[in-house]
Amino acid sequence: MGTVLNLVNPPNTCHPPPPCLLSPSNKFPWTKPFLPGVFLARPVTPIQRCHVVRRRSRVSASLMGNLGRLRRNLQDVTSMNYWVVRDYYRLVQSVNAVELQIQSLSDEQLKAKTSEFRERLARGESLADMQAEAFAVVREAAKRTIGMRHFDVQIIGGGVLHDGSIAEMKTGEGKTLVSTLAAYLNALTGEGVHVVTVNDYLAQRDAEWMGRVHRFLGLSVGLIQRGMKAEERKFNYGCDITYTNNSELGFDYLRDNLTSNSEQLVMRWPKPFHFAIVDEVDSVLIDEGRNPLLISGEANENAARYPVAAKVAELLVKDVHYKVELKENSVELTEEGISLAEMALETGDLWDENDPWARFVMNALKAKEFYKRDVQYIVRNGKALIINELTGRVEEKRRWSEGVHQAVEAKEGLEIQADSIVVAQITYQSLFKLYPKLSGMTGTAKTEEKEFLKMFQIPVIEVPTNLSNIRIDLPIQAFATARGKYEYVRREVEDMFGQGRPVLVGTTSVENSEYLSALLKEWGIPHNVLN
């Protein structure tokens, strides 16, 4: 019988036993533990020991995985979201219960359902009374027109939207199709539904794609796009369902409030807002929610002052002549800075009412410190064009107010455009609070739920995925230098390109995208740049 070794902490990896433990009479001294503190006195070879450790590791990993799943299941059961979603499955059962009946209808009979629903509303029924049947009608219409049938979880998403909540749905779960359910049901009242996206492209795509479902059922579908005339806008806002983007919607509201001629109004006054479904709602209401939409008028300012102030700003040194507050995007002149600026401008007082230079100098310093070329703006065709920091897109018709844009133009040596004053403004948060009922969709809203509840009293409901999630989320990579980071990105793109896999690379600025593009060109990797 071999020697018994009490290995309280057995090694995780397999190594040969120390030479001192090997002898002709004791060839295999390692033993296999049976229970904690109990060991078999049977000789085990190093190879056998290695198999035991591996087996134990697999069992341990399996046990930890099961415990993790059990913990998540317990968290699900104890969460409010679990019970809310469970309640929505009653709606799913009701929709599925009438599906066969709806499937048996001809196209004409299915289209006639819209008139039937409206007659029932006129007789005093509520939208809740006909919700299940209306959802089944939309499901069948979508199957016949665009070849897509709403999954059960998408029915849940439609119910969440109709109830004026935010549906958090993961990427690929079909948010666009889900919106047709709530849009159709609420459009039956004839008061208009707005489906709001983040840009013109998505609005047009959804109006054409999902609009086929609504038109098949006899609803009118409108589309608001940049560059449309007032007559077109008025017609499209008058439709049962109108697709637009948040920017066009906000500016139309501001312009209507500025006009004194009722014939020039484009929205449905006196009640322009009824129900809205906002796509990427966290981006619109949280990320950009406090950014004001501005309509400006020209002011009579001396444009020649801006280039002069830009030259003065070049003379002033940060932390010597002025202090910078990054959080507040503000600058403050020191006593030395005031003296130098007044000397350069040959004025006795920067704040002299008859010869005011302070505003111009402050804006010039802001342009110098906070407004970076190819980050906040680009220069194209002799103009400074703003870059939307969230989307990376150039906004040609937008300008900074209160002289900031003119200061940027002066810094770049461009022609100074007319200064402006704000005549009307509203934030997205204030705009969407005007809706009696508001809902939204996104893949990432749960982290902002407290703010949605605080600002809009809207809950966030996590809609289950149709299939279990098999995506693997890789850990975040950290790099000491930007060069190292982009070299890593280049290698990843090259590897994916070699496998024939398409790759989408997002950057935080136009400058970074152009740098990465040059790197890919250097290595002969074909690509497109969307700036």
> Which range, 181-190, 322-331, 414-423, has the best average confidence (pLDDT)?
181-190
- Phi/psi at 105 (nearest 5 deg)? -75, 145
pLDDT at 460: 94
For every residue of 481-517, DSSP letters joined together read SHHHHHHHHHHHHHHHHHTT-------SSHHHHHHHH
pLDDT surpasses 90 at 243: yes
pLDDT at 128: 95
pLDDT at 507: 86
CA distances from 299 to 399, 418, 421, 423 (A): 14, 7, 6, 11
pLDDT at 1: 41
Question: Residue 210 has which token pair?
Answer: 């999902």
Mean pLDDT of 410-427: 86
Question: What single letter denotes the amino acid at residue 507?
Answer: T
SS3 420: strand
pLDDT surpasses 60 at 202: yes
Report percent pLDDT > 90 for the chain.
64
Confidence of residue 208 (pLDDT cuts 50, 70, 90): very high
Question: What single letter denotes the amino acid at residue 283?
Answer: S
pTM for this predicted structure: 0.69
Environment class of residue 148 by beta-carbon count within 10 Å: exposed (0-12), middle (13-18) or buried (19+)? middle
Confidence of residue 40 (pLDDT cuts 50, 70, 90): very low
Mean pLDDT of 41-68: 57
Mean pLDDT of 404-414: 94
pLDDT at 311: 95
The answer to whether domain 81-293+432-462 has CATH 3.30.457.10 is no
Confidence of residue 23 (pLDDT cuts 50, 70, 90): very low
Burial 393-421 (b: 16+ CB within 10 A, else e): eeeeeebbebbbbbbbbbbbeeebeebbe
User: For residue 161, how many other CB atoms are within 10 A of its CB?
Assistant: 29
pLDDT surpasses 90 at 48: no
Please give the DSSP secondary-structure letter assigned to residue 433.
T
Question: What single letter denotes the amino acid at residue 203?
Answer: A
Q: What is the pLDDT of residues 61-76, one digit of tens each?
A: 566 666 656 555 555 5
Considering only the top CATH level, what class is 300-418? alpha beta
Name all contacts of 397-402 with Cβ < 8 Å and 24+ positions apart: 397/226, 399/296, 401/294, 401/296, 402/363
- Can you name the residues that pair with 379 across neighbouring β-strands? 384
pLDDT at 80: 83
Of 40-44, 77-81, 365-369, the range with the lowest mean pLDDT is 40-44
pLDDT surpasses 90 at 11: no
CB 393 within 8 A of CB 385: no
Return the domain boundaries, the chain. 19-78, 81-293+432-462, 300-418, 482-522
Whether the domain at 81-293+432-462 and the domain at 300-418 fall into the same CATH topology: no
Question: Residue 82 has which token pair?
Answer: 């679990």
CB 244 within 8 A of CB 224: yes
Report percent pLDDT > 70 for the chain.
84
End-to-end CA distance of the chain: 77
Question: What single letter denotes the amino acid at residue 279?
Answer: D
> Which range, 101-115, 367-381, 467-481, has the best average confidence (pLDDT)?
101-115
Q: Supply the mean pLDDT for the chain.
A: 86
- Can the peptide bond before residue 356 be classed as cis, meaning omega within 30 degrees of 0? no
pLDDT surpasses 70 at 92: yes
Closest CA to 277 of 462, 442, 451, 449: 442
pLDDT at 470: 83
CA distances from 38 to 6, 34, 41, 406 (A): 8, 6, 10, 83
